[in-house]
Amino acid sequence: MKRLFIALSLLASPAVAGTNLAGQYRLSEGPDVAGALEILPNHHFRYMLAAGALDERAEGRWAQQGPRVCLFTEPRPVPPVFALSATPPAQPQETDLLVTWPNGRGIAGVDFVLGFASGEPLTGYTQTYGWSMPEGDRRKPTWVELSVPMHNLKSPRIALDGKARVHVVLTPNDLGLVDFQGECLEARDKALFLRRGGGEMRFIRQRN
């Protein structure tokens, strides 16, 4: 597990809860989570988080909105894209569903819903070598939906046109780059709070 030791330096501003926030802060979320946020006097910020297998980052500008400091990622990230491969994988595909990076390396842990012309869809998740239909199930899939919940990433429904073996490529683009668009910091109880995903991240001040 990576451990980040990155400082958060905030420009003192009486408009932010009337408190001088200049100093160093770290994310206070438990032993398996580490993170930091740096807000600079030139209205730029940098953010990092490591939580288990999740690594994310962002940078851009901040703006004062009343008593809060709000973050805007710039430039905005290019979202990752799932798409059917136009070429066969480098090695012969032995599984019914394979998800790879553009370089052909298999990806584990991609959730999927596989649909058919009749019967119930199948759900599961990939391994690096792919995923195979249950023994005895000879249906041909007609569509697939893929997702990586950790990154809040979900594909549209991809039509398969009766393909016997499905190879999908995930082009990462700016995977892991958080698209902050007005998420705000609030100062209270001697800490800074950032709302994310229906919850709050708590940053506490460090001694200089």
Question: Is the same domain home to 47 and 93?
Answer: no
Q: Is 142 found in the same domain as 201?
A: no
Domain contains 166: yes
| 97 in the same domain as 158 | yes
pLDDT at 123: 97
Q: Domain check: are 135 and 201 in the same one?
A: no
Give the HSE-up count for residue 144: Cα atoms under 13 Å, Cβ half-sphere: 29
**Residue 1 covered by a domain:** no
Greater confidence (9 vs 81) lies with 81
> Which tokens hold the place of 133?
């239909």
Q: Are residues 51 and 115 in the same domain?
A: no
My answer on whether 165 and 99 are in the same domain is: yes
Domain residues for 93? 81-171
| Within-domain flag for 128 | yes
- Same domain for 71 and 92? no
* 132: its two tokens: 């195979």
| 16 located within any domain | no
pLDDT band per the 50, 70, 90 thresholds, residue 19: very low
Which of these ranges, 20-24, 71-75, 167-171, 195-199, has the smallest mean pLDDT? 20-24
Residue 82 in this model has a pLDDT that exceeds 90: yes
* Per-residue DSSP letter, 150: G
Question: How does pLDDT run across 21-40, given as a tens digit for each residue?
Answer: 555 778 887 678 889 988 78
What is the predicted pLDDT for the residue at 207? 65
Q: Residue 92 maps to which CATH number?
A: 2.60.40
pLDDT of residue 196: 81
14 has pLDDT over 50 = no
Neighbours of 145 (CB within 10 A): 17
* 72-81, 85-94, 146-155, range with the lowest pLDDT: 85-94
Residue 18 lies in a domain: no
Kindly state whether residues 49 and 121 are assigned to the same domain. no
Mean pLDDT score, 193-205: 84
Same domain for 136 and 85:
yes
101 and 139 part of one domain: yes
Whether 122 and 164 share a structural domain: yes
Residue at 52 is within a domain: yes
Q: How far apart are the first and last CA of the chain?
A: 25
Residues 31 and 65 in one domain: yes
Total domains in the chain come to 2
For residues 50 and 36, what is the distance between their CA atoms, to the nearest angstrom? 9
Average pLDDT, the chain: 84
Output the six-digit token pair for 83. Answer: 């798409």
Q: What is the DSSP string of 12-60?
A: --TTTTT----SEEEE-S-TTEEEEEEE-TTSEEEEEEEETTEEEEEEE
User: Model's pTM, two decimal places?
Assistant: 0.79
